[in-house]
Structure 1
Amino acid sequence: MMIVDLIDGDDFRDRLVALGIRIPEGASPETCARMALLKHAEVGVPGLQELVQELGGQIDIMLPSVRAALERFLLPALR
C-alpha cells in the first residue's frame, strides 16, 4: 500500500515563503495565493511560475482549499 502526503495549507504556505513571499502564519490558502500573486505583480517572484507548474501537476494530492486557491488565482495568471 502506498501512502501519499496531501498538500495542505501549511505546505502551500511554506513553499511560497521559501520563495521569499512574506505570508503570516495561519493564512488561508486563498490568502497565500492572493499574496503571492500580488508580490509577483509588484516585483516578480523568481521561481513562482515553476512552483505553480509543479503544483498544477499535483492537483490530485491537494486538499480542496489549496486546489481551489491555486486554480482560482495562480494557475490562470502564471500559465
Structure 2
Amino acid sequence: MMIVDLIDGEDFRQRLVSLGVRIPEEACPESCARLAAGCHRARGVEGLEPAIRDLMQHTDVMLPSVREAIERHLLPIFGSP
C-alpha cells in the first residue's frame, strides 16, 4: 500500500509563514491565499512566486480547497489566469 502525503491547508499555511507572511493558525486555505496576495501587493514577498509555482506542480496530491485558493488569489498576481 502506498501512502501519499497530501498538501492540505496546514501545509499551505506553513509554506506561506516560512516566507514571512503572517497568517493565523486557524486560517483556511482561502484566507491564507488572500493574506499572502495582499502582503505581496503591499510589500512583496520574496520567494512567493517560486513557492506557488512549485506547489502547483503537485496538484495531484493537493486538496481541492488549496488549489482553488491559489488559483483564485495568487496565480492572478503573477500574471497567470
Cα distance in 1, alignment partners of residues 43 and 76 from structure 2 = 19
Q: How big is the shift at 1:64?
A: 1.0
Give the gaps of 5 or more residues in structure 2: none
Give the gaps of 5 or more residues in structure 1: none
Can you list the C-alpha shifts for 1:17-38, whole angstroms capped at 9, x where unaligned?
Answer: 0000000011010000000000
Q: Is the 8 A contact 1:56 1:75 kept in 2?
A: no
The code of the aligned residue for 1:8 comes to D
Instruction: Report what 1:27 is aligned to.
Output: 27
Alignment partner of 1:72 is 2:77: no
The code of the aligned residue for 1:29 comes to P
Instruction: Count residues in correspondence.
Output: 79
Q: Is the 8 A contact 1:9 1:29 kept in 2?
A: yes
The 3-state SS of whatever aligns with 1:74 is: helix
Identity in percent = 59
Q: How big is the shift at 1:77?
A: 1.6
Can you list the C-alpha shifts for 1:20-69, whole angstroms capped at 9, x where unaligned?
Answer: 00000110100000000000000000000000110111111111110110
Instruction: Report what 1:39 is aligned to.
Output: 39
Hey, which bits of structure 1, 4+ residues long, moved more than 6 A?
A: none
The 3-state SS of whatever aligns with 1:25 is: coil
Q: How big is the shift at 1:74?
A: 0.8
Alignment partner of 1:51 is 2:51: yes
Alignment partner of 1:5 is 2:31: no
TM-score, length of structure 1 as denominator length: 0.93
Once superposed, what is the RMSD of the aligned Cα atoms?
1.0
